Structure 1
Amino acid sequence: MPVDQFMAEFFGQNIVYLLLAVFIIICVMAGVRIVPQSEKFVVERLGRLQSVLGPGINFIVPFLDRVRHQVSILERQLPPMTQDAITSDNVLVQVETSVFYRIIEPEKTVYRIRDVDAAISTTVAGIVRSEIGRMELDQVQANRSRLIEAVRDQVSQQVDDWGIEVTRAEILDVNLDQATRAAMLQQLNAERARRAQVTEAEGKKRAVELQADADLYAAEQEAKARRVLADAEAYATQVVAGAIAENGLEAAQYQVALKQVEAISKMGAGQGNQTVVLPANALDAFADAFKMLKGR
């Protein structure tokens, strides 16, 4: 067999095997899909939804199945949104909100809604306006947690058909127009002034009450002291009366002389009294007192 003919037959047979091997490799590469942990792949077969591939190694039918969408399942945050709303007491407020969500069913998200972020933003704006329209301004400021919970629950219900889970909704800020702010500031200042006046009045009232209590206590103590003094004088009188009853006139004269001595002593102890003028019988009073004291 000629060499040229042999080489032609050899390469002819091997090229078929080579092409077959290349085809098998292409099929394997086309049929194997490795999905990252943070994504899901949506597979179509001839234009129709076939399956959703989860993280890991997956197999599809080469040339028939095609990965049309690679969807991230990580949590996403919508940019902060600001929308106007009117409270039940006709106050215009600007509410800034932010929503966090993640895609849990990619087949619903890619086939039922075109722009997920815009759809959620519109839904949140409508819910916020509706909820704030049921509240007064003071309730909006005081019950922000209740408003957040209402927004999250209603958004979750409305986006359920889109394969989305709302993980968190936040009310970042509630702003008022300038006129309303000025009116609220004026009201706040008036309230502070009223509280200051009430506090001052209560302080004065308390001071008067304490002074009255102090005066009453002083009067009670003075009355008690007078009663004690009166009791002491009554007791002394009783003692003197008993002594007079026992000793007669001498005891009475002794008490009179003693009182005279005490009176003269007080006169001499007074301030600025350097000269004491005594009556003529003053010395007799001293003598009588000493005599009676000896006689006792």
Structure 2
Amino acid sequence: MSDAKIIDGKAFAQNVRARVAKQVQDLKDYNNVTPGLAVVLVGEDPASQVYVRNKVKQTEECGMKSLEYRRDPDISEQELLTLVYGLNENPEVNGILVQLPLPDHISEDKVIAAIAPEKDVDGFHVINTGLLATGSEDAMVPCTPLGCLMMLKDFYGGDLTGKRAVVVGRSNIVGKPMGALLLNESCTVTTVHSRTQDIEEECRRADILVAAVGRPEMIKKEWIKPGAAVIDVGINRIEKEDGKTKLVGDVAFDEVKEVCGAITPVPGGVGPMTIACLLANTVTAACRQHKIEEPKVD
């Protein structure tokens, strides 16, 4: 049995939010600027409603201005784009977040492309993904990968240089930006996916393993290099023997923690960091728009 460090995402996120709240107060006191985050929710998806409620609550707790726009699921694509264009022009709005998924008749790509890149606090706009891929510090970094990176840097004392990193999954939201971030930190990065041959062998070589594939407990103890840092982005609801359900990650937590050096639990690991990083991105966006020196994210 190893002494794997269980990375407490809730406590980590609490520290990030406290730092953001101090930055917001400083912006108000010294620059007369109150960062504003606009959240757009289309339809009544239960999970999205919970996410939006949490985002609004934490935005306000940090002292920022929260603007919420709820629209019926039958809103036309053009009406939604017009709303986004209006938020782009609104000086009170520094960050815009359109909660995904959107109804089938609306193109998510079109809506994301309509958000002004400097207000794209989700980091999904093609300009921001391009800036990230080319190593630019001007990129707005997607919240979940940013949270993963912050926890990894904390575990390794701030320096990931030369670490062998494996990212399981190649989504535009987590896998690809995570790979780019790790590459920018001078890691040697491999992305594995459903077509990779011998995924187990690739994973076993990793000092850092980030799982973002959406398959419950796919990654087993035998896949892990002893002492590796394991970040589990997966959130999967599975049925237990008693008929009730529980949340699990992409990593078989109970067995993997016996060999790894550090691991994030599900729930309570990466999840809380996503919203904390959204708030940090909103502060960064406000500083850039007002040409104020932006706080360092670490």
Measured against the shorter chain, the TM-score band is under 0.3
Higher strand share: 1
Higher helix share: 1
Larger radius of gyration: 1
Determine which structure has greater relative contact order: mean sequence separation of CA pairs < 8 Å that are 6+ residues apart, divided by chain length: 2
